[in-house]
């Protein structure tokens, strides 16, 4: 009895972790694609770890874009019948695959947006290619979308692992933090990030003193082994580069503070961080931490105006993913307006090579070679609590990384 | 040597959480023959409750350390009376499903109100420094957790060994049918024991809030390992669950420190240990094989 219960316990427990997350909202479409109608699909995480940084507020951002488009063109708009379909992919590639196909085929979606989680994003790229329908990825970081998985119908919008590594790794090293200790979660994203960071650090004349792969998911929630090791390395690292994300990042940062590593001379650089992460950790816990941001809401007046409207609609300030969803939806609608058709091939031709400047894309260009959308990025630093005078205004921008430097050159892996 | 001791201490701190959670699971399983899948959710509620108390009512850590275990213990008793109790005579599968469903509901309720992003919870000021342990400094909060958890385990041990309730719990855990045959009314202790188990989970949750990410899924992530701990210790064995809890904490910490070239190993080491233990002793290290009914 005990033995069977034991086996049942562990197998059901495994289910508990892998099987969580309810189904996403679904709405019905009449399934007829017509030139008189535009349907935008937002496929993302609406119940899991990326709920706040993209999730439902990405849908709101796309709705804002539609409202702005309608207001701008009024009766001259190519159509006023523009709707949004959304689905929850639960960060699972198989679900993303099914939902994407369903969106294109049954919901008459013209363009799929967002799709965080690299493995899910790659699947959707395959579906877009097969169905010859447009896909603007915003939420996923993998460079494969503009590498091995690139295709005529997929565009990669906001950021990628190269941009993060090059921004934080290279710039932080150039600013004097020569020796690094890199800690990364042991799965695809973390391994990609470690490789990109190591390359960027070495390229800028720095040195990776040590690197460690932490278990993923780290069920004990404990990072003390790695954190304690940091100040004892020889040479002592100037900075700990952590590639963890979400709750794991929170654990690393909490324990980084607990062991007082900053006082021991080891700074903190974060591979990937969203505004919502800073909000949940509090700027106090992160003060002095550097990271690369694709966009910041309080960077200038133009961003702030958008952020104010976003806050009115959602009650919170936008992350870069929200702003990028707004921008991507806007650029698509503008392209359809200009071309007078929603035919995917016509739109792809119109977008390729186009230079863009909008609230998200500064010095933006939609590269024809690999469909990487390049734009200015920013090296950001979390302010000390004393300098935070407004909720959500947590960082100062140390440096604008020009579009040409921020992203990698087109990869030879990409064959359109 | 210093490094080894530091890792050992940290392993014991992780182990303290496993031990507290496993102890609760073990007494619940012992008395009710119910594998409480909702245990992780109550751990999460303990941490989340502490956050809500602090953020929305200004209630400090120390008060939360009492309020959450008592409050959730009472909630646990109510749930036991209302639902679990009705299913104990049926196939154990019904209670698997019930507590599993309960977990999803509790997680989603928290998600609905607070989202999935982690909520901030600072270490109480009086515990935020570090203690000089001779060879190295160790964060005060970690020392506190260790001392506190060991004290709770020892107290539970004493209660079980020296009180009438404890006697009933031990007897019912080891030989439920025989205990009933002696005319001992096991039934009246079931609800309070369930509440006690839940209170331990809630306590672990409050303790975790200052050093772990407080979010709706924190229990789901941890509970897998805790189930493995309970199975290693011997399902229903109270001593076994505590010993295995600290043991697994140590093994994980040493694994991360000395097997860092094989990260996949430090990730799976718990399950490797579990497999080996089950092959060697199918009822777990301190479990006893039950005679077929």
Place of tokens 């007078």: A340
> Contacts of residue A285 in chain B, CB cutoff 8 Å?
120
Q: Would the CB atoms of B3 and A12 count as touching at under 8 Å?
A: no
Q: Is A6 on the interface with B (CB under 8 A)?
A: yes
pLDDT in tens, A70-92: 999 999 998 989 999 999 998 89
pLDDT in tens, A4-46: 555 555 555 554 444 443 333 333 333 334 568 999 999 999 8
Which sign, positive or negative, has the C-alpha torsion B284, B287, B292, B293?
A: negative
Give the C-alpha separation, A343 to A345, whole Å. 6
Radius of gyration of chain B (CA): 19
Q: Would the CB atoms of B100 and A225 count as touching at under 8 Å?
A: no
Q: Mean pLDDT throughout A359-369?
A: 97
pLDDT over 90 (residue A127) = yes
Give the C-alpha separation, B8 to B11, whole Å. 5
| B283 in Cβ contact with A2 (< 8 Å) | yes
The alpha carbon of residue A47 is apart from the nearest alpha carbon of chain B, in Å, by 8
- Pick from B236, B10, B243: nearest CA to A5: B236
> Contacts of residue A4 in chain B, CB cutoff 8 Å?
none
Q: Is A145 on the interface with B (CB under 8 A)?
A: no
> Contacts of residue A90 in chain B, CB cutoff 8 Å?
none
Q: Mean pLDDT throughout A303-314?
A: 96
- CB-CB neighbours of A103 under 10 Å: 27
Instruction: Assign 3-class secondary structure to chain A.
Output: CHHHHHHHHHHHHHHHHHCCCCCCCCCCCCCCCCCCCEEEEEEECCCCCCCCCCHHHHHHHHHHHHHHHHHHHHHHCCCCCEEEEEEECCCCHHHHHHHHHHHHHCCCCCEEEECCCHHHHHHHHHHHHHHCCEEEECCCCCHHHHCCCCCCCEEECCCCHHHHHHHHHHHHHHCCCCEEEEEEECCHHHHHHHHHHHHHHHHCCCEEEEEEEECCCCCCCCCHHHHHHHHHCCCCCCEEEECCCHHHHHHHHHHHHHCCCCCCCCEEEECCCCHHHHHHHCHHHHCCCEEEECCCCCCCHHHHHHHHHHHHHHCCCCCHHHHHHHHHHHHHHHHHHHHCCCCHHHHHHHHCCCEECCCCCCCEEECCCCCEEECCEEEEEECCHHHCCCCCCCEEEEEEECHHHHCCCCCCCCCC
Among the partner-chain residues A16, A186, A280, the one whose CB lies closest to the CB of B100 is A16
pLDDT at position A377: 97
Q: Is B187 on the interface with A (CB under 8 A)?
A: no
Give the C-alpha separation, A375 to A364, whole Å. 4
- CB within 8 Å of A370: residues ≥ 6 apart: A146, A147, A150, A410, A411, A414, A416
Q: Is B44 on the interface with A (CB under 8 A)?
A: no
Q: Would the CB atoms of B212 and A251 count as touching at under 8 Å?
A: yes
Q: Is B30 on the interface with A (CB under 8 A)?
A: no
User: Model ipTM?
Assistant: 0.84
Q: Is A229 on the interface with B (CB under 8 A)?
A: yes
Q: Would the CB atoms of B116 and A221 count as touching at under 8 Å?
A: no
- Pick from A353, A414, A342, A368: nearest CA to A134: A342
The alpha carbon of residue A76 is apart from the nearest alpha carbon of chain B, in Å, by 40
- CB within 8 Å of A352: residues ≥ 6 apart: A366, A368, A371
Residues in chain A: 416
The alpha carbon of residue A250 is apart from the nearest alpha carbon of chain B, in Å, by 5
Q: Is A213 on the interface with B (CB under 8 A)?
A: yes
pLDDT over 60 (residue A201) = yes
Identify the residue among A224, A248, A253, A382 best suited for mutation to test binding to B, counting B beta carbons within 10 A and taking the highest: A224
Q: Which residue has the higher pLDDT, A55 or B206?
A: B206
Give the C-alpha separation, A49 to A55, whole Å. 9
Give the C-alpha separation, A220 to B18, whole Å. 9
Count of pairs with CB atoms under 8 A, one residue in A, one in B:
168
> Contacts of residue B253 in chain A, CB cutoff 8 Å?
220, 222, 224-225
Helical ranges in B163-237 per DSSP H: 164-174, 176-181, 187-208, 218-233
- CB within 8 Å of A396: residues ≥ 6 apart: A380, A381, A383, A387
pLDDT at position B290: 60
pLDDT over 70 (residue A47) = yes
The alpha carbon of residue B134 is apart from the nearest alpha carbon of chain A, in Å, by 16
Q: Is A49 on the interface with B (CB under 8 A)?
A: yes
* Burial environment of residue B32 by CB neighbours within 10 A (0 to 12, 13 to 18, 19 or more): buried
Tokens at residue A182, please? Answer: 């890199």
The alpha carbon of residue B122 is apart from the nearest alpha carbon of chain A, in Å, by 9
Among the partner-chain residues A12, A212, A254, the one whose CB lies closest to the CB of B211 is A254
pLDDT in tens, B80-99: 999 998 888 888 889 999 99
SS3 B66: helix
Q: Which residue of A has its CA nearest to B268?
A: A215
Q: Would the CB atoms of A186 and B10 count as touching at under 8 Å?
A: no
Q: Would the CB atoms of B228 and A47 count as touching at under 8 Å?
A: no
Instruction: Supply the DSSP symbol for B214.
Output: B
Q: Which residue of B has its CA nearest to A259?
A: B139
Q: Which residue of A has its CA nearest to B269?
A: A215
* Percentage of chain A exceeding pLDDT 70: 92
Q: Mean pLDDT throughout A190-216?
A: 93
Q: Is B279 on the interface with A (CB under 8 A)?
A: no
Half-sphere exposure of B256 (CA within 13 A, CB side): 35
Among the partner-chain residues B139, B210, B225, the one whose CB lies closest to the CB of A220 is B225
| B199 in Cβ contact with B23 (< 8 Å) | no
Q: Which residues of chain B have pLDDT under 70?
A: 289-293
A332-338 long-range contacts, CB within 8 A, separation 24+: A332/A40, A332/A110, A332/A111, A332/A134, A332/A136, A333/A38, A333/A65, A333/A66, A333/A69, A333/A82, A334/A69, A336/A38, A336/A78, A336/A110, A337/A69, A337/A73, A337/A77, A337/A78
Q: Mean pLDDT throughout A315-338?
A: 96
Q: Would the CB atoms of B118 and A281 count as touching at under 8 Å?
A: yes
The alpha carbon of residue B66 is apart from the nearest alpha carbon of chain A, in Å, by 24
Q: Is B222 on the interface with A (CB under 8 A)?
A: yes
Place of tokens 């019912």: B172
Q: Would the CB atoms of B100 and A229 count as touching at under 8 Å?
A: no
Instruction: Supply the DSSP symbol for B127.
Output: G
In B104-123, the residues whose Cβ lies within 8 Å of chain A are 104, 107-108, 111, 115-120, 122-123
Give the C-alpha separation, A329 to A69, whole Å. 10
Q: Is B224 on the interface with A (CB under 8 A)?
A: yes
Q: Would the CB atoms of B130 and A260 count as touching at under 8 Å?
A: yes
Q: Would the CB atoms of A13 and B96 count as touching at under 8 Å?
A: no
SS3 B139: strand
């Amino acid at each position: 009895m005990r033995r069977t219960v034991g086996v049942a316990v562990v197998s059901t427990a495994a289910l508990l972790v892998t099987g969580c997350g309810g189904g996403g909202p679904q709405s019905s479409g009449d399934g007829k694609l017509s030139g008189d109608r535009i349907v935008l699909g937002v496929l993302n995480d609406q119940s899991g770890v990326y709920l706040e940084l993209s999730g439902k507020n990405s849908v709101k951002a796309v709705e804002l874009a539609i409202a702005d488009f309608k207001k701008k063109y009024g009766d001259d708009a190519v159509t006023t019948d523009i709707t949004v379909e959304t689905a929850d992919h639960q960060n699972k590639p198989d679900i993303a695959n099914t939902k994407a196909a369903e969106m294109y085929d049954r919901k008459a979606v013209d363009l799929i947006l967002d799709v965080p989680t690299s493995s899910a994003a790659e699947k959707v790229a395959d579906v877009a290619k097969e169905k010859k329908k447009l896909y603007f990825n915003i939420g996923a970081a993998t460079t494969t979308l503009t590498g091995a998985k690139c295709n005529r119908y997929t565009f990669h919008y906001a950021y990628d692992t190269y941009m993060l590594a090059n921004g934080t790794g290279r710039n932080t090293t150039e600013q004097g933090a020569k020796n690094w200790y890199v800690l990364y979660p042991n799965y695809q994203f973390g391994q990609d990030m470690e490789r990109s960071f190591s390359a960027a650090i070495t390229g800028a004349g720095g040195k990776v003193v040590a690197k460690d792969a932490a278990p993923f998911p780290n069920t004990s929630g404990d990072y003390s082994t790695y954190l304690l090791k940091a100040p004892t390395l020889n040479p002592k690292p100037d900075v700990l580069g952590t590639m963890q994300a979400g709750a794991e990042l929170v654990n690393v940062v909490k324990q980084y503070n607990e062991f007082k590593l900053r006082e021991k001379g080891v700074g903190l650089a974060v591979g990937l961080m969203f505004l919502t992460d800073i909000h949940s950790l509090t700027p106090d816990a992160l003060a002095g931490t550097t990271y690369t941001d694709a966009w910041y809401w309080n960077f200038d007046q133009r961003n702030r105006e958008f952020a104010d409207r976003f806050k009115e609609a959602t009650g919170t300030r936008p992350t870069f993913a929200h702003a990028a969803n707004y921008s991507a939806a806007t650029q698509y609608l503008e392209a359809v307006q200009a071309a007078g058709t929603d035919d995917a091939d016509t739109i792809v031709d119109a977008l390729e090579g186009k230079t863009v400047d909008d609230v998200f894309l500064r010095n933006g260009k939609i590269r024809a070679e690999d469909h990487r959308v390049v734009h200015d990025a920013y090296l950001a630093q979390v302010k000390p609590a004393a300098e935070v005078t407004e909720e959500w205004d947590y960082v100062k921008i140390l440096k604008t990384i020009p579009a040409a430097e921020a992203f990698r050159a087109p990869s030879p892996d990409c064959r359109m | 040597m210093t490094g080894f001791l530091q890792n050992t201490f940290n392993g014991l701190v992780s182990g303290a959480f496993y031990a507290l959670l496993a102890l609760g699971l073990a007494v619940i399983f012992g008395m009710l023959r119910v594998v409480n899948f909702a245990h992780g959710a109550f751990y999460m509620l303990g941490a989340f409750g502490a956050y809500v108390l602090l953020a929305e009512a200004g209630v400090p850590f120390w008060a939360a350390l009492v309020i959450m275990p008592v409050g959730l213990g009472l909630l646990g008793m109510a749930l036991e009376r209302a639902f679990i109790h009705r299913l104990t005579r049926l196939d154990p599968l019904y209670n698997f499903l019930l507590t599993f469903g309960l977990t999803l509901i509790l997680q989603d309720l928290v998600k609905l109100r607070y989202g999935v992003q982690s909520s901030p919870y600072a270490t109480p000021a009086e515990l935020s420094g570090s203690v000089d342990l001779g060879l190295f400094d160790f964060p005060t909060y970690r020392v506190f957790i260790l001392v506190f958890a060991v004290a709770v385990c020892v107290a539970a041990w004493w209660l079980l060994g020296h009180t009438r309730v404890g006697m009933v719990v031990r007897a019912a855990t080891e030989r439920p049918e025989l205990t009933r045959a002696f005319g001992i009314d096991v039934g009246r202790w079931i609800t309070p024991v369930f509440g006690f188990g839940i209170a331990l989970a809630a306590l672990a949750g409050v303790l975790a809030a200052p050093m772990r990410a407080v979010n709706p899924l924190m229990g789901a992530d941890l509970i897998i390992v805790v189930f493995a701990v309970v199975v290693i210790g011997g399902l229903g064995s109270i001593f076994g669950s505590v010993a295995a809890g600290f043991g697994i904490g140590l093994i994980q910490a040493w694994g991360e420190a000395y097997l860092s070239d094989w990260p996949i190993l430090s990730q799976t080491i718990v399950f490797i240990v579990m497999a080996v233990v089950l092959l060697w002793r199918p009822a777990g290290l301190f479990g006893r094989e039950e005679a077929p009914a």
